[in-house]
Amino acid sequence: MPTLNILQDGQAHTTVFTGTPTLAQALAAVGFAMAQPCGGRGTCGKCAVTALSGEVSAPTPAETRAGVRLACQAVLHGDATVTLPAAVQWTAIQTSTQTAALGRPMAGRYGAAVDLGSTTIAAKVYDLASGALLGEHAALNPQTTIAADVMGRLSHALSGKLQTLTSLAQAAVADAVAGACKAASVPAVQAQTIAGNTVMLTLLTGGNPAPLATTPFIADSLFGLETTLGGVPTYLPPCAGAFMGADLTCAALATKLCDTQETALLADIGTNGELMLWHQGKLYAASAPAGPAFEGGEISQGVGGIRGAIDKVWVEGASLGCRVIGGGQAVGVCGSGLIDAIAALLRLGLVDASGAADATRFLLRDAVYVTAGDIRAVQLAKAAIAAGIRVLLQTANASPAEVKRLLLAGGFGSQLAVESAASIGLVPAQFAARAAAVGNAALSGAALLLLDTQLRARAQQIASNAQVVQLGGDEGFEKHFMAEMDFPFAEE
């Protein structure tokens, strides 16, 4: 069988393969998965390799345009050698959670709480006897090698890749839990609770994805059940709807969203913008199709929360100042830095309210740029979130002034500068002073359900009582979406 030699970070790995796979497929099979936000079309350039030689296909037009070999495009025909960029160090995946009190835990000595996100996965291991947190681990969701968002993955699942997506999800959970166990110096867990959106849980369990992919968008299962995955007893919390998942239910549980008289809005802003509004004793939920821009996908030099990512940008006189995760040279810009950068360009008058720019690209630092295309992608994403918020408020007959708390959950939301978000119109300006980052609230809720099974009834109540507001095809949403495309103002 032909051999693939893999060189990365000064180390060599060798594997064999059969047939004529793409380089991306061969790499993923041995644990070297590379993100492909474009779904393998060769348009994003995120799977570029440093060097490639041997019996491989000639560069495709996409590779010629990019000026590099792309793992999703290059096909292996025989023995080959590839040099990969340095391994990504995920340093800003949100794992911060609230303290989970021990009640009636799942059975076993050790247990794991997992947040299976569309882009990233985080796990924490607990002592089920004391409730003590022992270790944690976070990584990229390997399903990003198939598609960046859930609709793309549903499309691939329906075209024959369901088993591949299921295997990737189950391996991701197992690897994340194993990483947390290693950090905790424990051999294994005997129980786990996994939060995730409805599509992620459907793909994780190998369920039927077809109802989620077409109108009226219903789920084959809304979960709220115990099963076994990888030999481990597993609780999958309930979902409120097809695109309002267990992650949102867990976040509402952890933040006690429904336990006060105040009107409050919970926003988990990422690839899928999940929203919950609590108003006058009623709960409303919606999912806004933001796309992967906030997590670095479909952005020219977008990256996740990795070492070298620009995560903060501000105005310094007539130019821009930047902060880089881990210091050193910048390699790209993550979601929070991108929002800051556009807010700063608005303040400097280099971008106007329509999104028109004075240049095709703007230098941030170290050859990392924000392009006019990036700005357009953010406009589309922020318009979807802002319109979703408007529709929820209208449905509940609530005004923005009545919202006393804005809870920002997830990695992107927790790193977001609310002032920047308000200045580009991602959230209403009057929310800025009422916003609070709540970390990975989905993971917090999963930990609560791991350590106190009596809370399952409360989680089910939250999911069952939520009035699901469908945004797709809604005339009000479309109207607000168009109105929210513009940036609200540009300070002089």
Q: What is the CATH number of the domain that holds 10?
A: 3.10.20.30
Assigned token pair, 287 = 């999912």
Do the domain assignments include residue 319?
A: no
Task: Compute the distance between CA of residue 125 and CA of residue 10 in angstroms, rounded to an integer.
Answer: 32
Do the domain assignments include residue 246?
A: yes
Q: Are 480 and 386 in contact (CB under 8 A)?
A: yes
The neighbour count for residue 19, using CB atoms within 10 Å, is: 11
- Which residues constitute the domain of residue 35? 3-83
| pLDDT reported for residue 414 | 67
Regarding whether 229 and 143 lie in a shared domain, the answer is yes
Do the domain assignments include residue 149?
A: yes
Q: Are 42 and 28 in contact (CB under 8 A)?
A: no
Regarding whether 170 and 227 lie in a shared domain, the answer is yes
Regarding whether 20 and 137 lie in a shared domain, the answer is no
Strand 319-324 and strand 309-316: the pairing is: antiparallel
Regarding whether 72 and 37 lie in a shared domain, the answer is yes
The stretches of 429-474 forming alpha helices (DSSP H) are 441-451, 456-465
Q: Where are the beta strands (DSSP E) in 339-444?
A: 361-365, 368-371, 403-409, 435-437
Task: Compute the distance between CA of residue 17 and CA of residue 127 in angstroms, rounded to an integer.
Answer: 41
| pLDDT reported for residue 56 | 96
The count of domains in the chain is: 2
Question: Which residue is listed with tokens 């024959």?
Answer: 160
Do the domain assignments include residue 151?
A: yes
Task: Compute the distance between CA of residue 168 and CA of residue 292 in angstroms, rounded to an integer.
Answer: 19
**Helix-then-strand count for the chain, H and E:** 14, 21
Helix, strand, coil tally for the chain in percent (to 5): 35, 30, 35
In this structure, which amino acid lies at residue 31?
Answer: G
Do the domain assignments include residue 310?
A: no
Q: Where are the beta strands (DSSP E) in 23-119?
A: 51-56, 76-83, 110-116
The neighbour count for residue 85, using CB atoms within 10 Å, is: 13
Task: Compute the distance between CA of residue 265 and CA of residue 285 in angstroms, rounded to an integer.
Answer: 10
Regarding whether 182 and 57 lie in a shared domain, the answer is no
- What is the Cα gyration radius of the chain? 22
Do the domain assignments include residue 65?
A: yes
Regarding whether 123 and 227 lie in a shared domain, the answer is yes
Query: ∠ CA 276-279-281 to the nearest 5 degrees?
Result: 110
Q: Which of 207, 224, 250 marks a domain boundary?
A: 250
Q: Which of 224, 250, 276 marks a domain boundary?
A: 250
Give the 3-state DSSP-derived string for 178-199, with helices as H, strands as E and coil as C.
Answer: HHHHHHHCCCCCCEEEEEECHH
Provide the residue count of the chain.
Answer: 492
Task: Compute the distance between CA of residue 60 and CA of residue 63 in angstroms, rounded to an integer.
Answer: 5
CA 264 to chain centre: 23
The reported pTM is: 0.82
Regarding whether 155 and 226 lie in a shared domain, the answer is yes
First to last CA, the chain: 64
Task: Compute the distance between CA of residue 483 and CA of residue 335 in angstroms, rounded to an integer.
Answer: 23
Query: Which helix (H) or strand (E) is 338 found in, with range?
Result: helix 335-347
Q: Are 210 and 154 in contact (CB under 8 A)?
A: no
Regarding whether 132 and 225 lie in a shared domain, the answer is yes
Check whether the bond before 216 is cis (ω within 30° of 0): yes
| pLDDT reported for residue 492 | 41
Question: Which residue is listed with tokens 């809005």?
Answer: 265
Regarding whether 209 and 136 lie in a shared domain, the answer is yes
Task: Compute the distance between CA of residue 53 and CA of residue 76 in angstroms, rounded to an integer.
Answer: 10
Assigned token pair, 361 = 């690209």
Q: Which of 68, 83, 98 marks a domain boundary?
A: 83
| pLDDT reported for residue 411 | 66
Regarding whether 199 and 145 lie in a shared domain, the answer is yes
- Tell me whether residue 185 is exposed, middle or buried, using C-beta atoms within 10 angstroms of its C-beta: 0 to 12, 13 to 18, 19 or more: exposed
CATH number, domain containing residue 235: 3.30.420.480
Q: 114 - beta bridge partners?
A: 123, 194
Regarding whether 52 and 130 lie in a shared domain, the answer is no
Do the domain assignments include residue 449?
A: no
Query: What is the phi-psi region of residue 256: left when phi exceeds 0, alpha when psi lies from -120 to 50, beta otherwise?
Result: left
CA dihedral 162, 167, 170, 175 (to 10 degrees): -150
From first to last of the 492 residues of the chain, give the pLDDT tens digit: 899 999 998 889 999 999 999 998 898 878 787 877 676 778 777 788 888 999 999 999 988 887 889 999 999 999 999 998 877 655 444 444 555 668 899 999 999 999 998 888 999 999 999 999 999 998 888 888 888 788 889 999 999 999 999 999 999 999 999 999 999 999 999 999 999 999 999 999 999 999 999 888 889 999 999 999 999 999 999 999 988 899 999 999 999 999 989 999 999 887 678 899 999 999 999 988 777 777 666 788 888 777 888 999 999 988 899 999 888 889 889 888 999 999 999 999 999 999 998 899 999 999 999 999 999 999 999 999 999 999 999 999 999 999 999 998 876 776 778 889 889 998 888 888 888 888 889 999 999 999 999 999 999 999 999 999 988 777 889 999 999 999 985 444
Q: Are 468 and 378 in contact (CB under 8 A)?
A: no
Do the domain assignments include residue 415?
A: no
Question: Which residue is listed with tokens 């949100």?
Answer: 94
Distance of CA 179 to CAs 82, 125, 173, Å? 27, 9, 10
Assigned token pair, 382 = 């922020």
Regarding whether 221 and 114 lie in a shared domain, the answer is yes
Residue 75, SS3?
strand
Contacts of residue 102, Cβ cutoff 8 Å, sequence gap at least 6: 130, 131, 451, 452
Task: Compute the distance between CA of residue 252 and CA of residue 267 in angstroms, rounded to an integer.
Answer: 10
